[in-house]
Amino acid sequence: MNWDAVGAIAETLGAVGVIATLLYLTTQIRHNTKALRVSAFHASTQSLVGENDLLAANGELADIVQRALAGESLSPTEQLRFDFALTSNFRSLEEGFYLRDEELLDPRLWRRIDVSLNRLVRLKAVQDYWSREDFGYDEGFKAYVDAKIAELSE
């Protein structure tokens, strides 16, 4: 066997090694992407559940939210608590929007989040909040919510 044959065999083995490495890395990237999506799904779900738990565990806040959504006037302190509750809720929705844009959120969860957002922006008290506080949100999310609200007036 001459050196040319040994070199050709070594190159072939090197190419096979590179292909095997690429296949392994592809598998690992897919696994990691799936793990990130599962983690994002869990975090977003927990965030939204936390919003529900907040109202379920705090009767006084639930009463404030109910009165605000019914169009009743609130004291300045009650209005502040209502606004903070909505800010917390919108931050959870904004997180889902971001994860969706980064393709880390399962489309099934995004549909649930979007349904929640659709229900929320139909409420006048929520629209009033949004008109006062929208400046504090990501521009993409702000444009998305603004478009949803605009659809309602068409």
The predicted-structure confidence for 30-84, as pLDDT tens digits, reads as follows 777 777 766 766 666 676 666 667 766 778 888 888 899 898 999 999 999 999 8
Residue 127 counted as domain residue: yes
Residues 25-47 as b/e (b if ≥16 CB within 10 A, e otherwise) read: eeeeeeeeeeeebeebbebbeeb
Residue 13 counted as domain residue: no
Residue 23 counted as domain residue: no
- What is the reported pLDDT for 69? 85
The pLDDT tens digits for 82-129 are: 998 999 889 989 988 998 998 888 888 899 889 989 999 999 999 999
0.85 surpassed by pTM: no
Residue 56 counted as domain residue: yes
Residue 80 tokens read as 């502040």
- What is the reported pLDDT for 76? 93
- CB under 8 A, 24+ apart: contacts of 94-100: 94/137, 94/138, 94/141, 95/43, 95/44, 95/47, 96/44, 96/47, 96/48, 97/138, 97/140, 97/141, 97/144, 98/138, 98/141, 99/40, 99/44
pLDDT at 17 > cutoff 90: no
C-alpha separations of 32 from 28, 104, 144 in Å: 6, 11, 29
- What is the reported pLDDT for 42? 67
Residue 65 counted as domain residue: yes
Higher pLDDT, 97 or 22: 97
* Number of domains, the chain: 1
Residue 154: which pLDDT band, with cuts at 50, 70 and 90? Answer: confident
Residue 22 counted as domain residue: no
- What is the reported pLDDT for 40? 65
Domain of residue 69 covers 42-152
Q: Are 54 and 119 in contact (CB under 8 A)?
A: no
Residue 11: which pLDDT band, with cuts at 50, 70 and 90? Answer: confident
Residue 55 counted as domain residue: yes
Place of tokens 């990691």: 32
- What is the reported pLDDT for 24? 78
Helices (H), the chain: 3-57, 59-69, 76-101, 107-121, 124-133, 139-152
Residue 87 counted as domain residue: yes
- What is the reported pLDDT for 54? 73
Q: How many CB atoms lie within 10 A of CB 58?
A: 14
